[in-house]
Amino acid sequence: MKGFLLIIFSFLFTINMMSQDIDIYRKGKDDNVKIPNIPLGMSKQEFHLLSTNLRLKDMLYAMVVPGYVHFKAQEKPMGYAILGARAVGFIGLSAVYYSAQINDENWYDINGDPNPDDVITIGNGWEIKKSDVILVTSATLIISTYLFDWIRGENLLHRKQDKIRYKYGIKHELQKAYSYNPSSGILPIASLSIKISSL
């Protein structure tokens, strides 16, 4: 029995290894061959927006590519703004890192002893290093732009998709209601239906 199960498992494993890709989501073999029923008047941009999905892997892409979700939602100006803000964040981080390297300090040591020349005093004598301010600001900028890109971008994409679905959905219903149909305008006075039920 054990041998038999081993054979089956190794067989399944081999089949899996032979497949070209491992898909988390169910994907049919002919998905890319199927021609969708595109409503009349739909632009390519609208079609592209409607077929766009945001998945977990896009969260990872958005970490690497600033403004990724906004670009996907076809909001280029905001995408470039996020790209710029993220670039400023990275420049800030690099500046802190290289200045620490030159001064032979620990660049991420926020609680270290501050150099008196490199200190800002806030409120009741609370002292903070200038480089720490830049470090924290830059890190905040990077994280906040990422979250902003993801949350606003996703919301925007969904709103755009809703708009397209609403527009063509209503038009489709209107088409059905008003289109030329020889039977339209005739009220049925009697009907015949056949019900097939399984016993």
Partner 1 sequence: MKRYILILLVLISVTNLFSQDNVLIEFKYLQLVNAQGDKDLAEDNYRNAEIICDSIIINSHISEVNAHMFFELAKSYELNEEYGLMAFSLLRQRCLAPNDSFNIEGQRLFEEACLRLQLTHKQARLLYYNTETKNITKNNYPAQLSILYQNSILLFDASVDAKLMKYYSLYNTQKLEIDYMHQQWQFLTMIDLGMKKKKRILSQKSVNSQKEYWEIEDNKLHKRVLMRAEHYYRKSDANAEAKYYLEEYKKLELSVFNKIQRSWRLLLN
List CB contacts of 153: < 8 A, sequence separation 6 or more.
54, 62, 68, 69, 70, 72, 73, 75
Q: How far is the CB of 178 from partner 1 (least distance, A)?
A: 5
Residues 102 and 40: their CA atoms lie apart, in Å, by 64
Q: Which is nearer to partner 1, 147 or 174 (CB)?
A: 174
Q: How far is the CB of 45 from partner 1 (least distance, A)?
A: 10
Q: Which is nearer to partner 1, 179 or 193 (CB)?
A: 179
Q: How far is the CB of 164 from partner 1 (least distance, A)?
A: 8
Residue 85 is classified by DSSP as: H
Q: How far is the CB of 39 from partner 1 (least distance, A)?
A: 10
Torsion of CA 116, 122, 128, 133, to 10 degrees: -130
Residues that bind partner 1 (CB under 8 A): 41, 43, 163-164, 166-167, 170-171, 174-175, 178-180
Contact 155, 54 (CB under 8 A): no
Contact 109, 103 (CB under 8 A): no
Residues 173 and 182: their CA atoms lie apart, in Å, by 18
Q: Which is nearer to partner 1, 25 or 180 (CB)?
A: 180
Q: Which is nearer to partner 1, 130 or 167 (CB)?
A: 167
Q: Which is nearer to partner 1, 48 or 163 (CB)?
A: 163
Q: How far is the CB of 176 from partner 1 (least distance, A)?
A: 10
